[in-house]
């Protein structure tokens, strides 16, 4: 099992309820492909480094999980087509 961090930037134009549903769906994808979520960091609304889809702000979430090596590709393929996700990045964390 490898440790991963999935960074997700969600649109600031949607309501809190819809934003929470989006993150719950991402977490469900992680668990569906065998990942065990250790924690979710919510950074809140932050200014984007550059304009994306005519938006200047987004809500940042960092999901830490453990999974097999094939899981991130499956998760990314599902998150890529989600409407309210502006950007995402999944990286493998180095063992300390």
Tally of domains in the chain: 1
Could you list the residue range(s) of the whole structural domain that residue 27 is in? 2-92
Structure tokens at 60: 């940042």
User: Is the pLDDT confidence value at 96 over 80?
Assistant: no
Write down the pLDDT at residue 63. Answer: 96
In DSSP notation, 10-79 reads EETTS-HHHHHHHHHHHHHHHHHTT-EEEEEEEEEEEEEEEEETTEEEEEEEEEEEEE-TTHHHHHHHHH
In this structure, what CATH number is given to the domain that contains residue 10? 3.30.70.60
45-80 pLDDT tens trace: 999 999 999 999 999 999 999 999 999 999 999 999
Burial letters 36-60, b for 16+ CB under 10 A, else e = eeeebeeeeeeebeeeeeeeeebbb
């Amino acid at each position: 099992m490898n440790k991963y961090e999935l960074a997700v930037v969600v649109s600031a134009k949607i309501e809190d309820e819809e934003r929470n549903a989006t993150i719950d769906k991402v977490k469900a994808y992680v668990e569906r492909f065998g990942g065990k979520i250790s924690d979710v960091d919510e950074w809140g609304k932050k200014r984007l480094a550059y304009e994306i889809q005519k938006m200047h702000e987004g809500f940042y979430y960092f999901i830490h999980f453990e999974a097999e090596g094939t899981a991130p590709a499956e998760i990314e393929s599902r998150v890529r087509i989600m409407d309210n996700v502006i950007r995402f990045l999944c990286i493998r964390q180095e063992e300390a």
